[in-house]
Amino acid sequence: MRRRDNFGVHIVSDLYGCDPKRLMRMEEIKETLEKTVEKSGLTKIKSSFHQFNPYGVTGFVLLSESHIAIHTWPEYQYVSLDVYSCGPPDGSFSAHKRLVEFFKPKKTSTRVFTRGKLDEADSYTDNKAISYRT
């Protein structure tokens, strides 16, 4: 078995200025996410989507490599997009690019994380030192 140095790429994006009508169409979003998974070389296990009343969609595709999650707020023209794959990074970046192109945001804020950097395993943060809001 090949030794790995991390557990994948996690791409987190905020998409602003998206078409609010598109953000309300659950079936179109579901179809797009599932086609994106296939075209990006990822492996779907299952998916689940929910249409909120009066509007907004939440959904995810569970992947054998990890997941893609989406949350829409049409009233703010906003999409929260989360793409994580422990497989080759090309799949994550391909899926992310396709989904951003589908939503056509006017502005995008994206962060890319490398998950589980094994060379940093000994320099972890002590959870006792983290302050949580309760």
Structural domains in the chain, sorted by start = 9-117 (3.60.90.10)
> Catalytic residue numbers?
66, 71, 86
- What would the mean pLDDT of 60-78 be, rounded to a whole number? 97
- Structure confidence at residue 62 as a pLDDT band (50, 70, 90): very high
pTM of the model: 0.84
- Structure confidence at residue 121 as a pLDDT band (50, 70, 90): low
- What would the mean pLDDT of 111-124 be, rounded to a whole number? 73
Q: What is the pLDDT of residue 92?
A: 94
Asked whether the beta carbons of 102 and 25 are under 8 A apart, the reply is no
Burial 105-134 (b: 16+ CB within 10 A, else e): beeeeeeeeeeeeeeeeeeeeeeeeeeeee
Q: Tokens in use for 63?
A: 């992947």
Provide the CA 44 distance to its chain's centre, in angstroms. 14
Which one, of 99, 102, 26, 103, lies nearest residue 68 by Cα?
99
Compute how many other C-beta atoms are within 10 angstroms of the C-beta atom of residue 70.
Answer: 24
10-14, 79-83, 101-105, 126-130: lowest mean pLDDT where?
A: 126-130
Q: Which residue has the higher pLDDT, 58 or 128?
A: 58
- Structure confidence at residue 7 as a pLDDT band (50, 70, 90): confident
